[in-house]
Amino acid sequence: MQRRDFLSQAGASAGILLTSSLGSPVFPAKVPPARKLGVALVGLGNYSTRQLAPALQETELCRLAGIVTGTPAKAEAWKEKYNIPEKSIYSYENFEQIKYNPDIDIVYVVLPNSMHVEYTIRAALAGKHVICEKPMALNVAECKEMIATCREAGVKLSVGYRLYFEPHHQEVRRLGTEKIYGAVKMMETSLGFSMADPTVWRLNPKLGGGGAIMDLGVYAIQGARRVIGELPVAVTAQGYIRDKTIFKDIYETMLFQMEFPGGAISNSTTTYTSYVDRLYATTGYRWFGLQPAFNATGATGDSSEGKIEFKTPAYQQIRQMDAFAKSIMDNTEPLASGEEGMKDLRIIEAIKQAADTGKRVEIDWKS
């Protein structure tokens, strides 16, 4: 028997059911180390298929234990490929039954942005810890509701920020926040790809919530926040729609600028017109950067002092999901928390307002 198989079997038989103050079943903060936490993926699109499921074959503290899908053919294929028991396969209608399944500790919401709030709350009320894909929700109000519900349900909430755990990004965070090359003064962070299929949910304002800035903006925003270690105090933004046959009521391209309290400034491009994927930071006479920077298949780093190179696992989500599993086991606050996700939505709201009004928008971090 392979070690992985052994751990999977051990995990499947080690579930312990408790009941939270809301009457939902939850797992205790401490889990026997031999037991991998069970993850149920909600939504079996590209990201689940090509990234999360393969990553969950490599994770050490959690494993693919269940799926939630509205497509019976997908359920059948996944059941066979990943040896998922019938009892851990749910549809969107019977999703609530997941609360009675001791094999599922974590629900990973991989649905269109507009459905994040609903499924995060349903998962929390079912007593499951939640990872929600980025952007966390459509707006700050939804984020608040998600965070409060998870807190009341006694479950942990994390946002699918894989780059928090990626070595090149950890290195630019270190170079920036520890002022290794001096204090960072300017940053450029940009992400874009060609999105010409009008049927994609990301282009539907109701499902995606706002196009390139919602989808790609979190990366560009986080890239700058990560390097400087501060929250922006004001933003300006420029929204563009070139192809009105495809882009209806959402900006195809959003450029934005962030002002940080220490005086640093960032300038960012997010676009659905074309490929761009880079991060640059400069401290006066020295600089560091990544290109590619944000995509899921790996970063490459360079600097005024030489290359930035790290060996990385095949899937960035391995570390992300294991870190969340560990925070559950240790009962610590997840690094990529719901609060972190809400900060990005607050910035995105300010960017949208700045683009819509053409005015500089100050961000109120107290509200």
Which parts of 68-154 fold into alpha helices (H)?
72-82, 116-125, 140-153
Pairing of strands 89-90, 62-68: parallel
Whichever of 32 and 358 has its CB closer to its own copies, that residue is 358
Q: Tell me if 248 contacts its own copies by CB under 8 A.
A: no
**H helix intervals, the chain:** 3-12, 46-47, 53-55, 72-82, 116-125, 140-153, 167-177, 205-208, 212-215, 217-228, 317-329, 338-357
- Reading the block at residue 209, the tokens are 């919530």
β-pairing, 18-19 vs 25-26, is antiparallel
Stretch 11-30: interaction string toward its own copies, x if CB under 8 A: --------------------
Name which of 109 and 220 has its Cβ closer to its own copies: 220
Cβ at position 50, least distance to its own copies in Å: 18
Phi, psi at residue 64, to the nearest 5°? -70, 115
Question: Strand 157-159 vs strand 129-132: parallel, antiparallel, or unpaired?
Answer: parallel
Do residues 280 and 289 touch, judged by C-beta distance below 8 A? yes
Tokens of residue 266, six digits? 């960032």
Q: Distance between CA atoms of 301 and 169, rounded to whole angstroms?
A: 9
Among 236, 303, 317, 337, binds its own copies (CB under 8 A): 236
* Interaction of residue 192 with its own copies, rule CB under 8 A: yes
Catalytic residue among 161, 164, 181, 219: 219
Binding segment for its own copies (CB under 8 A), chosen from 5-13, 28-36, 159-167, 279-287, is: 279-287
Answer yes or no whether residue 300 interacts with its own copies by CB under 8 A. Answer: no
Q: How many residues bind its own copies (CB under 8 A)?
A: 35
Residue closest to 329 by CA, chosen among 30, 44, 36: 30
- 101 belongs to the binding site for its own copies (CB under 8 A): no
Closest distance of CB 317 from its own copies, Å: 25
331 makes contact with its own copies (CB under 8 A):
no
**Which helix or strand (DSSP H or E) is residue 90 part of?**
strand 89-90
Of the ranges 48-56, 119-127, 142-150, 275-283, which one interacts with its own copies (CB under 8 A)? 275-283
CA 132 to chain centre: 6
* Contact region with its own copies (CB under 8 A), list: 54-62, 165-173, 201-209, 281-289: 281-289
Is 134 part of the annotated catalytic residue set?
yes
d(CA 5, CA 2): 5
246 forms part of the interface with its own copies (CB under 8 A): no
Please select the residue that binds its own copies; options are 91, 238, 295, 353, rule is CB under 8 A: 238
Which residues contact residue 34 at a Cβ distance below 8 angstroms, ignoring those fewer than 6 apart?
Answer: 7, 10, 11, 14
Q: Out of 24, 51, 88, 257, which residue is the one contacting its own copies (CB under 8 A)?
A: 257
Q: What are phi and psi of 42, to 5 degrees?
A: -105, 110
Indicate whether 265 belongs to the interface with its own copies (CB under 8 A).
Answer: yes
Q: Which of these segments, 34-42, 101-109, 183-191, 320-328, binds its own copies (CB under 8 A)? A: 183-191
Choosing from 108, 119, 165, 280, the residue that interacts with its own copies (CB under 8 A) is 280
Question: Is residue 189 a contact point for its own copies (CB under 8 A)?
Answer: no
Stretch that binds its own copies, among 114-122, 128-136, 189-197, 308-316 (CB under 8 A): 189-197
Alpha carbons 231 and 226: distance in angstroms, whole number: 10
User: Catalytic annotation on 219?
Assistant: yes
User: Does residue 88 interact with its own copies by CB under 8 A?
Assistant: no
Helix (H, G, I), strand (E, B) or coil at 3: helix
What tokens appear for 204 in the block? 């539907």
366, two tokens: 């107290």
Pick the binder of its own copies from 16, 19, 148, 275 (CB under 8 A): 275
Give me the least distance between CB of 262 and its own copies, in Å please.
10
Residue 346 CB, nearest distance to its own copies (Å)? 20
C-alpha torsion angle, residues 96, 344, 206, 68 (rounded to 10):
-30
Give the residues lining the site for its own copies (CB under 8 A): 185-186, 188, 190, 192, 194, 236, 238, 240, 242, 253, 255, 257, 259, 263, 265, 267, 269, 271, 273-276, 278, 280, 282-287, 304, 358-360
Name the residues annotated as catalytic: 134, 219
